[in-house]
Structure 1
Amino acid sequence: MAQALSTPDLNSPRFPRELDSILPFGVYDPHGSFKNERGIAIEHVFLPWQDVNVQSLHSADSYAMARERDLLITLEPWSWSPEKRIPRRALADGIINGRFDENIQRVCRTVGQLRSHVTIRWAHEMDDTSGRYTWSLWEPRDYIRAYRHFVETCRREAASARFMWALKGENLLNAFYPGDEYVDVIGLSIFGLQDYDIDKFGRNRSFEEITRISYDRVTSYKKPIYIAELGIHGDDEYTLAWWNGVRNASVKFPALQAIIYFNEVETYPWPEHYGRPDWRVRRDIGADETQ
């Protein structure tokens, strides 16, 4: 993996100007806000396997190579058009029985042609209880069979790719572990939403507090751990405290190997009244306000 010893210099209260870290840092950055920033080690892209445009992977590869970044590809086993999505039971059975092998082969054959170092994050957050994903909360044995089938099929097309078992971090996650030979790295989703913390806990929760919950649930697997999605939304005091936690992440979480920021508005509304938090880095203020 490319190594980044410091994160970029951005003029934002959500991204302090001096955020030295020994961990590689990456971004999901669909609007290109980080395209000219130095010190980014990982470019994160999302892709559905239905209606997929594999040419977009070649474009992502060229973009990442030009910036000396590795690629993290989140591959979602559905269509981004809700009316085309397959029901959860049919999706699980179809993957296990090979119905979607062509989808897997099309994407992974393209991945095998890329020049970048690629990690594939497939069917992420399988432990999510909100119902947002049709692959969430399958029976654990079905998820494991589907995950293994995906990895075995994909490896035949993309032998050098690594595979990320990525989860939300719920207490039931261990039932979904597919086995050491199918997991190269573990991915966590960590989000800090100040309004939620105040409403539910009566106080601000820290980066360390929230990360610790999921991290401690997966360290027994002895795998490298990434924060595959990090998002922060709150006032300046809250967000700067979180970035201070990120700065010290390698000390508090020694198995953590990289942190990837989700620089976009939340795709799906949070439960209750929280809507779609805007995790994007603000770049519309002066440098003095970040100190």
Structure 2
Amino acid sequence: MSRSHRRDTPVSRRGLLGLAALAVLPVAGFGYSQLKSDGTASGASPSASGRVPVSEPSARPTPEPFASADPKVKLGGTVPFVPGKALFGSYLGLDGLEYAEALALRKKQLGRGQRIVHLFYAWEDDLPSSIPYLPKGSIPMVSWRGPKHETILSGDADDYIKASARRLRDLDRPVLLRWGWEMNGDWYAWSGFKNNKNAQGYVDCYHHLWKIFEKEGADQVSWVWSPNWNNSPNEAWNRMEAYYPGDEYVDWVGVSGYNLHDEEPATLFDPVYQKYSPHKPLMITEIGSVDRGGTSKADWIKDFAAYVVQRPAIGGVVWFDTDTHPSWPERWRIDTDATSTAAYKAMVQNPRFSG
């Protein structure tokens, strides 16, 4: 959770691989968010006030997705983008349940399985070479934390990076790799803010990782570049576009955005959509909503579903579905009340989410 949560702060050459059936490991040690020194948690996304009703058009016309302009160009790498279809998934961290149990619970509640299963790993962790509890037809999204830039750029970590690439290669199935997310915030070690306000250092790290993965034959990795929805600090050097590695290195553009202060979906996601959807597919890689009583949470989920229907370049939605987020009282899980569960179920059963 960043400081700006507070109200006082304002194309890939890789071929598509067939998905293999896998069947229950405990969900230990994903190395998720740490607490910052001010006591707030670092894993969700900042927010700002202001509303842009989803029923009204954006101030700028909504761009058409790039794929519609040139259908011969395949977007998304080994996790292909289908215009007008969104892959649905979540990070599941449900108190008292191992990951396999949480997946089974959500399938029973929602009447369908997760197409994307989101997993978090620390920089020092071994990335997975197998995920036995992954349901058939599901795609893992590996969010991999980073270190300070110098750790990568010095070359000292090259052997570890090579081993990590080989582990994902050995999964032998398409995988979304989301390295160093929310780099335009001030809460992670790999951010520009934590590295002498140097956005280019992040880009250099990203390129270094990408090239090693290519050399190690991790061809089934789809690379997800995933900024936060707004910049913190909001200064020229920290603009999200300063961190963009370039089209050659990015298969999906992701974005984190949470409804914390009654933001409309367009407020959270349209800036990224407008900037990148003309040439890359988009994935909302972290999203959740607080509950303000009554049907407020269910209403926001319905608004978000309508928003995605209006934005054909959104090819994936990955919910932050948990009640175990460190030191944050909001229960982000989707079944905090019956109306929220019903709204979420209606959303994911909509054909728009049938990617």
Quick one: distance in 2 between partners of 1:118 and 1:289? 28
Aligned residue among 117, 126, 141 for 2:183 = 126
Q: How many residues align?
A: 238
The equivalent of 1:232 in structure 2 is 289
Quick one: distance in 1 between partners of 2:242 and 2:324? 27
The equivalent of 1:72 in structure 2 is 141
**What percent of counterpart residues are identical?**
24
Aligned residue among 9, 27, 30 for 2:93 = 30
List per-residue Cα deviations over 1:107-144 (Å, max 9, x = no partner).
Answer: 21110011331010001110013xx2111124122111
The equivalent of 1:142 in structure 2 is 201
List per-residue Cα deviations over 1:184-235 (Å, max 9, x = no partner).
Answer: 1111001112xxx2xxxxxx33223322233224335x11100011111113
Quick one: distance in 2 between partners of 1:258 and 1:161? 16
2:230 aligned with 1:156, yes or no?
no
Which residue identity does 2:214 align to in structure 1? R
Quick one: distance in 1 between partners of 2:248 and 2:333? 36
The equivalent of 2:255 in structure 1 is 188
The equivalent of 1:242 in structure 2 is 300
Contact 1:249/1:256 (<8 A) preserved: no
Higher relative contact order (CA 8 A, sep 6+): 2
Quick one: distance in 2 between partners of 1:227 and 1:150? 23
Please show how residues 196-235 of structure 1 align to structure 2 within 5 Å.
Answer: 197=261, 204-220=262-278, 222-234=279-291, 235=293
Quick one: distance in 2 between partners of 1:287 and 1:135? 39
Q: TM-score, normalised by structure 1?
A: 0.73
Q: 1:267 to 1:288 in 2, by over 3 A?
A: closer
Q: 1:98 to 1:217 in 2, by over 3 A?
A: same
Aligned residue among 270, 282, 288 for 2:335 = 282
Which residue identity does 2:267 align to in structure 1? E
SS of the equivalent of 2:254 reads strand
The equivalent of 1:102 in structure 2 is 159
CA apart distance, 1:99: 1.3
Which residue identity does 1:63 align to in structure 2? Y
List per-residue Cα deviations over 1:11-48 (Å, max 9, x = no partner).
Answer: xxxxxxxxxx9522101113432335124211110111
Aligned residue among 104, 110, 115 for 2:172 = 115
SS of the equivalent of 1:241 reads helix
Q: 1:44 to 1:174 in 2, by over 3 A?
A: same
CA apart distance, 1:286: 5.5
SS of the equivalent of 1:29 reads strand
Greater shift after overlay, 116-125 or 33-42? 33-42
Contact 2:223/2:251 (<8 A) preserved: yes
CA apart distance, 1:280: 1.5
Contact 2:129/2:169 (<8 A) preserved: no
List per-residue Cα deviations over 1:65-95 (Å, max 9, x = no partner).
Answer: x3320111001124xxxxxxxxxxxx21221
2:133 aligned with 1:63, yes or no?
yes
Q: TM-score, normalised by structure 2?
A: 0.61
CA RMSD of aligned residues (A): 2.7
Greater shift after overlay, 37-46 or 234-243? 234-243
CA apart distance, 1:245: 2.4
The equivalent of 1:81 in structure 2 is none
Q: 1:72 to 1:289 in 2, by over 3 A?
A: closer
Q: Which has the higher helix share?
A: 1
Contact 1:22/1:250 (<8 A) preserved: no
Quick one: distance in 2 between partners of 1:288 and 1:44? 21
